[in-house]
Amino acid sequence: MDPLMNQANWLKRQGIPSLTLLAGIIMGVVFFQYFANYKNAVVLDRQVAARGALTDDEQNTIKVFEEAASSVVFITTKRRGYDFFRNVTEQPAGTGSGFVWDHNGHIVTNFHVLQGGNAFEVVLLDQSIHEAKVVGLYPDKDMAILKIDAPKELLRPIPLGTSGELIVGQKVLAIGNPFGLDHSLSTGVVSALDRTIESVNGRQIKEVIQTDAAINPGNSGGPLLDSSGRLIGINTQILSRSGASAGIGFAIPVDAVRRAAPQLIRFGQVRRAGLGVSVNRNQRIRRQLASRGIEGVLIMAVQPGSAADRAGLRGTTRIGRRFQVGDILVGVNQEKIRNNNDLYNALDQLEVGQEVTIEYLREGEVFKTQLTLEAITAQ
């Protein structure tokens, strides 16, 4: 019997119509071939598009980052101590950013980056780790300077600009280590100028730069740059309800850094112009004076031999159970003084050795005197 007939009969016995099976095989082959060809067609048909030239702004951003990145450092703050067995222990206290100030290994950062620690490490761009020591602290401006011993070829001081010529709307770049992610770049603009923020010790920091460049925890102490790659500020604070960037960041102006850094390196502290007096910081006394309609800063004590002493200013004295109220400062160089911050900000703009006119209230009458400002240590 014909073999094909035998196969057909077998298929019938199995209940499988031969034509249906054959049709299924053919359709399977056709669909397989179709999808194989379709896949190949898709792969062969999709090609990488040419990128095209980078914009001038992109090229500028890339250039600034590449040149400035080697100046930015990662700072780790630790608390070092001893356990019961006198073994050295270390606990992490925080991280932040900083930048190279000079070839001698001085690193500028925020005071609050170092706050709470007693041991510090600086990581440079090449990932080398260097023990750092504190050279100077200036909490009034939330500034601090560390020093590391590193090869000079690894130390690239950041170019300095000026904050006095900034314009709202100009481009800025922030480089730092947000959330421990080293050398992260964000860009934005100068959102506002002459903002006032509060430092860690409650003192006001004036002339602060506001920017919408993303600043997050870990960015503190890092540089804010202009489009020429020059330092224009130190990223220091954000205004945010969540604790992360909300597009409102603040940077200490570079002009304040340029004034303070040399003194911090040389003396370990900033020597500001002062009168040689201690003033009232008691809120109750302030309220009592305000209730009597008196605005100004009450002198509590005059340092013997100081400029204020030579000018005849008087401090507050105690007679038995009563206090003899001292002179109340109400003006410096025709600038009205209403509170401690007014006095601090007025003196911050003046130089040691400069002659100024002081107005003060004594027994209800306003007097004027001139004195020469002298160096005092900033707290």
Instruction: Kindly list the catalytic residues.
Output: 112, 142, 220
Query: Do 259 and 206 meet the contact criterion of CB atoms below 8 Å apart?
Result: no
Q: Tell me how far apart the alpha carbons of residues 62 and 204 are, in angstroms, rounded to a whole number.
A: 35
User: What interhelical angle do 3-13 and 18-45 show, nearest 10?
Assistant: 90
CA distance 338 to 209: 25
Q: How far is CA 283 from CA 177, 279, 286, 296, 340, in A?
A: 39, 12, 5, 13, 11
The token pair that represents 190 in the structure block: 């100068």
CA distances from residue 26 to 29, 30, 233 in whole angstroms, order as listed = 5, 6, 75
How far is the CA of 50 from the CAs of 19, 57, 59, in angstroms? 53, 19, 17
Token pair 């010529």: residue: 165
Element (H, E) at 302: strand 297-302
- CA nearest neighbour of 98 among 145, 44, 32: 145
Amino acid at position 297, single letter: V
Neighbours of 203 (CB within 10 A): 19
CA gap 264, 138 in Å, rounded:
8
Smallest CA-to-CA distance from 144 within 199, 186, 182 is with 199
What is the rounded CA–CA span in Å between residue 286 and residue 113? 33
